[in-house]
């Protein structure tokens, strides 16, 4: 019978900052925001900060620790990383990270693959506490959750196999990222950076580019408002790498749709209320009619605005939208503020030209994502077998 232990028996969770470190005010440390961790489990970037800047209000960790997002939707989307390649031995990060410090009884990569695999995340998200949109993974859940614990050599063997499968999956992700970067470069070449408008395009307020709609939540005290008639989109359907909205887990009934807010296909939905500032301004394009909640503002483009151009404009203008946020610790951009934000407005014929490039990109993306799904399925299957002791 395979040995299982509670994670808290072999891992220190959220270790306290050493008192001796607090005295080193000018110590240079690595700072990792939530945006610095990819959903593939890699550290994409970190910053340098002085200890005095981050010692209060941020999460302490060290090189060799694991970070895992504790807030929805970042946890569900797989934001976790083994921080073994930091430029500094000490780091600080978002308060929405849990820190896991492995003991000598557990291999760090083995632990990473366990907490990053979809099976663990599925169970974790069903044990979150808090209000909708603000749910978090409790420390007690992490401490008490059981992990198979074979001998260290076996853990390392399993981690090595998963490393190889993960490398294949990452190459697929990289192909998609390169295509995405190419699309962004095409946009910037045609129109310039919207934040500085080097080509001197006319500017218009968002309300002049399309109809702005804020979502809502029909009363949950009336169960008949919910059913399977029309998808009810939340921010976790937007805060993903996909340009197109992911499928919603909840739907409204016919009666619920009458009380809800809907927009047609080719609308751009934007996260405007979020638990972390990094998620503010995240957009997604809808290819179908949907309803959505109050954390989201939608733009239904007018006839003189190409929907693909508008979506990409909002995507590249995320920093402009974030500057309009009125809550520095979390994030909120009200409809009134959102619709007054000014963005560039080049001629319609150029918008349409870019729209044709974007359409071709979506077709290419469909093929790449099919291959990615196959490699994801392989990796997930190996993870399940590994932690059942069948690898």
Is residue 109 a contact partner of residue 120, using CB atoms and an 8 Å limit? Answer: no
Helix (H) or strand (E) holding 252: strand 250-252
| Together in a domain, 156 and 142 | no
Angle between helical axes of 152-191 and 108-116 (0-180°, round to 10): 60
| Together in a domain, 95 and 226 | no
| Together in a domain, 61 and 135 | yes
Is residue 284 a contact partner of residue 240, using CB atoms and an 8 Å limit? Answer: yes
Alpha carbons 74 and 72: distance in angstroms, whole number: 5
Measured in degrees and rounded to the nearest 5, phi and psi for residue 244 equal -100, 140
Q: What is the CATH number of the domain that holds 167?
A: 1.10.287
| Together in a domain, 220 and 291 | yes
From the list 24, 15, 18, the residue with the least C-alpha distance to 65 is: 15
| Domain end residue (candidates: 82, 114, 149) | 149
Q: What is the CATH number of the domain that holds 326?
A: 3.90.220.20
The count of structural domains within the chain is: 3
pLDDT score for 329: 59
pLDDT tens digits in sequence order for the chain, 391 residues long: 468 999 999 999 999 988 887 777 778 888 998 888 888 888 888 888 888 888 788 899 999 999 999 988 888 888 888 988 888 888 899 899 999 999 999 999 999 999 998 889 999 989 999 876 678 999 999 999 999 999 999 999 999 999 998 888 888 878 888 888 899 999 999 999 999 999 999 999 999 999 999 999 999 999 999 999 999 999 989 988 789 999 998 999 999 999 999 999 999 999 999 877 888 999 999 999 999 999 999 999 999 999 999 999 999 999 999 998 886 657 789 999 999 999 999 999 999 999 999 999 988 888 888 888 888 888 888 888 888 887 7
pLDDT score for 327: 67
pLDDT score for 386: 85
Please state, as a whole number, how many other Cβ atoms lie within 10 Å of the Cβ of residue 375: 18
| Together in a domain, 211 and 263 | yes
pLDDT score for 364: 86
Contacts of 80 (CB under 8 A, 6+ apart): 37, 41, 66, 67, 68, 69, 112, 115, 116
From the list 42, 97, 92, 38, the residue with the least C-alpha distance to 62 is: 92
pLDDT score for 308: 97
Alpha carbons 309 and 187: distance in angstroms, whole number: 9
Is residue 39 a contact partner of residue 166, using CB atoms and an 8 Å limit? Answer: no
| Together in a domain, 206 and 164 | no
Is residue 215 a contact partner of residue 293, using CB atoms and an 8 Å limit? Answer: yes
From the list 69, 66, 101, 102, the residue with the least C-alpha distance to 86 is: 66
End-to-end CA distance of the chain: 15
| Together in a domain, 91 and 140 | yes
DSSP three-state, residue 115: helix
| Together in a domain, 9 and 74 | yes
Phi-psi category of residue 14: left, alpha or beta, with phi > 0 → left and psi -120 to 50 → alpha: left
| Together in a domain, 48 and 111 | yes
| Together in a domain, 130 and 85 | yes
- Three-state secondary structure string covering 306-365: CHHHHHHHHHHCHHHHHHCCCCCCCCECCHHHHCCCEEECCCHHHHHHHHHHHHHHHHHH
| Helix ranges (DSSP H) in the chain | 7-10, 19-22, 51-54, 108-116, 118-125, 139-144, 152-191, 206-209, 254-259, 307-316, 318-323, 335-338, 348-387
Structural domain boundaries, residue 318: 202-345
| Together in a domain, 363 and 335 | no
| Domain end residue (candidates: 328, 345, 362) | 345
Alpha carbons 354 and 191: distance in angstroms, whole number: 10
| Together in a domain, 57 and 15 | yes
């Amino acid at each position: 019978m395979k040995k299982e232990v509670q994670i808290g028996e072999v891992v220190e969770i959220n270790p306290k900052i050493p008192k001796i470190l607090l005295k080193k005010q000018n110590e240079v440390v690595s700072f990792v925001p939530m945006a610095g961790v990819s959903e593939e489990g890699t550290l994409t970037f970190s910053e340098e900060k002085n200890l005095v800047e981050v010692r209060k209000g941020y999460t302490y960790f060290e090189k060799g620790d694991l970070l895992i997002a504790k807030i929805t939707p970042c946890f569900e989307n797989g934001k976790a990383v083994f921080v073994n390649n930091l430029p500094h031995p000490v780091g600080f990060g978002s308060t929405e990270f849990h820190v896991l410090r492995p003991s000598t009884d557990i291999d760090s990569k083995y632990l990473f693959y366990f907490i990053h695999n979809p099976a663990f995340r599925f169970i974790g998200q069903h044990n979150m506490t808090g209000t909708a949109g603000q749910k978090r993974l409790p420390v007690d859940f992490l401490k008490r959750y059981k992990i198979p614990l074979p001998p260290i050599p076996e853990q390392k063997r399993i981690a090595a196999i998963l490393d190889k499968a993960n490398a294949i999956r990452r190459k697929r992700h990289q192909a998609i990222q390169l295509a995405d970067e190419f699309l962004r470069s095409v946009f910037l070449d045609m129109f310039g950076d919207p934040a500085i408008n080097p080509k001197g395009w006319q500017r218009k307020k968002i309300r002049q580019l399309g109809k702005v709609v804020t979502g809502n939540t029909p009363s949950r005290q009336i169960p008949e408002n919910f059913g399977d008639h029309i998808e009810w989109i939340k921010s976790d359907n937007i805060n993903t790498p996909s340009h197109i909205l992911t499928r919603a887990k909840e739907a409204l009934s016919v009666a619920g749709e009458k009380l809800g807010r809907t927009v047609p296909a080719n609308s751009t939905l934007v996260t405007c209320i979020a638990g972390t500032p990094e998620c503010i301004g995240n957009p997604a394009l809808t290819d179908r009619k949907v309803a959505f909640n109050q954390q989201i503002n939608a733009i239904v483009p007018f006839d003189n605005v190409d929907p693909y151009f508008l979506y990409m404009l909002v995507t590249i203008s995320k920093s402009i939208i974030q500057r309009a946020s009125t809550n520095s610790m979390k994030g909120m951009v009200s409809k009134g503020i959102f619709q007054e934000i000014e963005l560039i407005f080049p001629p319609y014929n150029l918008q349409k030209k870019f729209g044709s490039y974007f359409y071709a990109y979506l077709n290419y993306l469909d093929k790449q994502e099919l291959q990615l799904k196959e490699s994801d399925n392989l990796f997930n299957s190996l993870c399940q077998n590994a932690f059942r002791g069948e690898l």
